[in-house]
Structure 1
Amino acid sequence: MNTQNTTVHIRLWHREFWLMSIANLLLSMAVTMLIPTLPLWMMQALHFSREEVGLIMGVFAVGLFLPGVFCSYLVQQRRRNLVFVWCVLLLGLSMVLPMLSLPFFNRPLVVGMWRLAQGAFFGLAQMVLTSTLIIDTCESHQRTEANHSATWFGRFALSLGPMAGLLLIALSRALCPLHLENGCESNLLFLNVAFISLVCCLVAVILVLMIHFPFRVPEDGVRLISLDRFFLTSGFPLFLNLILITVPIGMLMSMRVPANSYGMVMIGFLLALLAQRFVFRNAELKSEVVTGLILISTALIILLASRLSPLTTPLLGLGLGIVGTRFLLFFIKLSRHCQRGTSQSTFMLGWESGLALGVGLGYYCFADNVQLMLSIALSLVLLALAMYVVFTHQWFVTHKNR
């Protein structure tokens, strides 16, 4: 039995799967790098209000959903790897716009449309990647492990991306001290971040182009608009429960914190991987989500008492890593035959849109009252815990298909 598991593991982690996973990491980093840096640029260089910044950061969540109904048609009628490539190239091209000093690119409506387009490009790229390309690179019996492993690469970007963005600004300021007005300095420093985001997109494209995907004859009768590979309507309770968890995390990401705080989140993620391997391997199914939400709640309680505690960020990473992995597997087990890709896209939408909405709410509603924001975040996590214990878990056990 051990020999068989080892063989499967070797077969899964082949060259193509590594390239896809690293491409997922770089694509996610290109977007998460902007979460702590883009608001600073908008407030200091463009002089937007916090309410305007909140709306612009939140509209990214709307963009994620816009192209979803066309996902199935595109991957059935076009070469699916090229659909991904064009989406990522357009996302990378959008990173260039702040560098061009366009005269109209200082208006909230224009920047909001730019952020909406970024959400659309990123959302479609992620749907194609997680619902199709990653599944295409592995055997049918490896797909759950492949989805689990590849999603972890994207989850690491939630720590690595913001940390890289903040470190890049700090390094640029240290190496090239600027004696300019605050707005001009912020503009130049953000351009470095935008350039690195562009590089991440281009490298992700190169990695995917290095993989050979066999040509598939386009299917007949494919509808232009479809929920296939987009949204699993039967999983809406899971989706709602996931949103209640990721929105508070996004709210926390609207706080100004040092780069090492995001690095400590990575420690929590690594502990979550160990916990899944050794602690929850034979545990009762409900225990993972309950434990993860209790850890997140504990971190928020500590933050309410003292924002200087070094325990909060590892606890957040540990709790979020445990909960995120379990919800991903819930979506997979809930899906019927040929719905695996749809379940992956639904999980991605719940995860990414919740984070974006949380960041937007943090800037729009709680800019001057962090204590209130932390209290609301804690209330949402406790609500998510109550919903899971009272309703979602039993509902999932009743409706799962795998």
Structure 2
Amino acid sequence: MAIANLLLSMSVTMLVPALPIWLMSTVNLDSQQTGLAMGAFAVGLFLPGALCSYLVQHYRRNIVFLICVLVLAVSMTLPFYRLPVLHAFPLIIIWRTLQGVAFGLAQMVLTSTLVIDTCESHQRTEANHSATWFGRFALSLGPMFALLLMQLSGLIVPSPITSPAMSTLNVFFLAMVCCIMAVVLVLFIHFPFRVPEDNLHLFSLDRFFLMSGLPLFFNLFLVTLAIGMLMSLPVTIDAYGMVMVGFLLALLAQRFVFCDAELKSEAVSGMLLIGASLIILLASRYSPLTTPILGLGLGLVGGRFLLFFIKLSRHCQRGTSQSTFMLGWESGLAIGVGLGFYVFHNRHMEMLLTALILDIVALLMYVIWTHRWFLAHKNR
């Protein structure tokens, strides 16, 4: 399931560098329309959430996941159709929103239900932590594979016989393959039958959103919003590779540096490192130090906030806390990418300065308010 989460997340992150190229070169959208299309994904993430609890109790939960991933896989085929009516801007917005719906519901079912159902109670925190880390690695691996495929197809290194449309189509095909592979992996897993609750409601916040975690949600959202804006920049394959190096360093730091440290030191260090990477970018945009420091900071913040959400949840709210974390993480990234194209297209220095301000606001919010609030409200 962890590898299935990696493949599912990669299918979406692959589109970050490839989809804007396709939208601008083939559909002929401008930067603002492209930004709206990229941001529409975030809207779709929230739309099915209130139905999640009903669906996983009324139907077999693994089947709900499989259907969602297959819908996402089918949606990857739209760029292959050359019908102009399918490339109209309103339909592109609906298409991206539908992708957000399919991915959001699949993630909610996977992280809030399937991972938890297959683990003993004393292993669930470790399982959530591990599965989420696999999805986090997709943030670097997805764009890396997309950029490498476009380079091999002749888009980044231009070829007279290769158009941008043809090169990006290969990325959509690979994203579809990742979805299918995730489906195959989950099909091999046996999930125990769960008896539905007696009072089953069609709409519910269960497995969707932990209202008591709003401060944590907004704090995390500010950080990922800044990161999403950076992902709208033209980034090289090597840069994404170094982000993964930073993620690996974050795993080591969590194990050996912050295991006995003060509780808030990990999140504070992570946001300080993100801020340091942004300052380096403002001073020297192509510094090789930037991306590993950024990956290290983001990995520390993501890992610590995930545990905070788990500790904040009460009995039978673990799944809800996982979905809330996922929404804060994914929606911040999607809206950040959208803002990068809509507001800051070809205005990179202003974007970097705005991202730095967002990170500083998130750090101050955490130090002044969120951490104290968490200590007063945690349940584990």
TM-score range relative to shorter protein:
over 0.9
Q: 1:129 matched to which residue of 2?
A: 110
Question: Are residue 93 (structure 1) and residue 74 (structure 2) matched?
Answer: yes
**What is the CA–CA distance in structure 1 between the aligned matches of 2:68 and 2:227, rounded to whole Å?**
27
1:65 corresponding residue in structure 2: 46
1:175–1:186: structure 2 CA closer, same or farther, 3 Å change rule?
Answer: closer
Displacement after TM superposition at 1:105 (Å): 2.1
1:178 and 1:293 map into 2 onto residues whose CA distance is: 41
Cα contact 2:10–2:139 (8 A) shared by 1:
yes
Counterpart in 2 of 1:346? 324
- The corresponding residue for 1:322 is 300
The one-letter amino acid paired with 1:240 is F
CA contact (8 A) 1:78 1:218 kept: no
Q: Which residue, 9, 16, 26 being the options, matches 1:35?
A: 16
Match of 1:358 among 332, 336, 348: 336
**Contact 1:54–1:360 (CA under 8 A) maintained in structure 2:** yes
Give the residue type in structure 2 aligned to 1:311.
L
Write the distance in 1 (CA, Å) between the matches of 2:215 and 2:194: 35
* Secondary structure at 1:179 match in 2: coil
Q: Give 1:179 shift.
A: 3.0
Residue 37 (structure 2) pairs with residue 56 (structure 1): yes
Matched, 1:300 2:274: no
Q: Is the 8 A contact 1:77 1:219 kept in 2?
A: no
**5+ unaligned residues in a row in structure 1: which ranges?**
1-19
Residues 184-229 of structure 1, C-alpha deviations (whole Å, 9 max, x = no match): 8111111110110000000000000000112233333200000000
Alignment counterpart, residue 119 of structure 1, candidates 94, 100, 106: 100
Q: Within the alignment, does 1:211 sit opposite 2:192 as a pair? A: no
Aligned AA (1:208) = V
Residue type of the alignment partner of 1:80: R
Q: What secondary structure does 2:74 align onto? A: helix
Return the letter of the residue paired with 1:299. Answer: S
Partner of 2:252: 274
Counterpart of 1:12 in structure 2 is: none
Q: CA deviation at 1:178?
A: 4.9
Matched, 1:110 2:88: no
Q: CA RMSD in A?
A: 1.3
Change (3 A) 1:292 1:103: same
8 A contact 1:247–1:357 mirrored in 2? yes
Aligned partners of 1:109 and 1:50: how far apart in 2? 15
Q: Is contact 2:155–2:164 with CA below 8 Å preserved after alignment?
A: no
Which whole-Å CA distance do the structure 2 matches of 1:134 and 1:147 have between them?
7
Q: Secondary structure at the match of 1:105?
A: helix
Q: Aligned pair 1:372/2:368, yes or no?
A: no
Question: Are 1:385 and 2:366 counterparts?
Answer: no
Q: Tell whether 2:207 aligns with 1:222.
A: no
Aligned to 1:238: 216
Q: Distance in 1 between matches of 2:42 and 2:115?
A: 23
TM-score relative to the length of structure 1: 0.93
Instruction: State the 1:97 CA deviation.
Output: 1.3
Query: How many Å apart are 1:104 and its aligned residue?
Result: 1.1
What is the percentage of aligned positions where both structures have the same residue?
67
Deviation at 1:47, TM superposition (A): 1.4
* Aligned pair partner of 2:124 in 125, 143, 147: 143
Matched-pair contact (CA < 8 Å) for 2:209–2:321:
yes
Q: TM-score, normalised by structure 2?
A: 0.98
Does residue 173 of structure 1 match 2:154? yes
Q: Deviations over 1:43-81 (max 9, x none)?
A: 112211000000000111000000000000000110000
Moved >6 Å (runs of 4+): 174-177
- Residue 378 of structure 2: aligned partner: 400
Q: What secondary structure, in the 3-state scheme, does the structure 2 residue paired with 1:247 have?
A: helix
Whether the 8 Å contact between 2:224 and 2:332 is mirrored in structure 1 is yes
Which of 225, 228, 239 is equivalent to 1:247?
Answer: 225
What is the total number of aligned residue pairs between the two structures? Answer: 380
Q: What secondary structure does 1:64 align onto?
A: helix
AA paired with 1:26?
Answer: L
Equivalent AA in structure 2 for residue 261 of structure 1: A
